[in-house]
Amino acid sequence: MKPYYEDEFITLYNNNCLTDPQWPTQADVMVTDPPYGTGQTGYGRAGREIANDLDTKVRDEALHLWQDKPYAMFASGKMPSPSFAWDHQLVWDKAVAGMGGKVRYQHELLYVYKYGQIGNGFSVIRVSKELSLTRLHPHAKPSSLMAMIVGAAPDGVIIDPFAGIGGTLIAAKQLGRKVIGYELNIEYCEVIANRAAQGVLI
């Protein structure tokens, strides 16, 4: 399978990771933000959809294939705690203001397994959202947050089977780590390629 984009650190495939049985053997640690399974539609101003977000089947299949290796994985606080193995549940506080009495989730969860210490070691990580990134992808994570998570990853090649607009990949490149990504949406692949070519965390 030919990469969509490749440089010294990043290898990106415009493909469904689950159709490539070899993907779990290519890397040592997984850092990913999979479909949460909340079944929501029309995210953000542009009404963008998240592929395979109707349930957690895709996420759970990827974790099953990954087996017993280290990972850091985002999840929704709206969903029950997952049944797969994890050591710690961290909270990403998005540091967003409330909206006129309407209850909104201002946090997401981060499950880690066989992983290094992220940030200062507390269970809550407070990092503001980056509007410039969320305009490109409704679930885009702040660059500083991804650098913190990737920086704590155990040694070896990193993989993100649900790459989105490349938060894991760009952070890994900036930290001099080899990383592999899979992304279904070709428009997001182009965003990743552009970000990677610029060589900066944007």
**Tens digits of per-residue pLDDT, 9-19?**
999 999 999 99
> pTM of the full predicted structure?
0.87
Mean pLDDT across 102-110: 78
Whether residue 100 is predicted with pLDDT greater than 70 in this model: the reply is no
In Å, what is the CA distance from 14 to each residue of 3, 40, 91, 181, 186?
Answer: 7, 24, 30, 9, 6
**What pLDDT is recorded for position 87?**
96
pLDDT tens digits, one per residue of 38-93: 666 544 444 456 665 667 888 889 999 999 999 999 998 777 777 889 999 999 99
Return the pLDDT at 76: 87
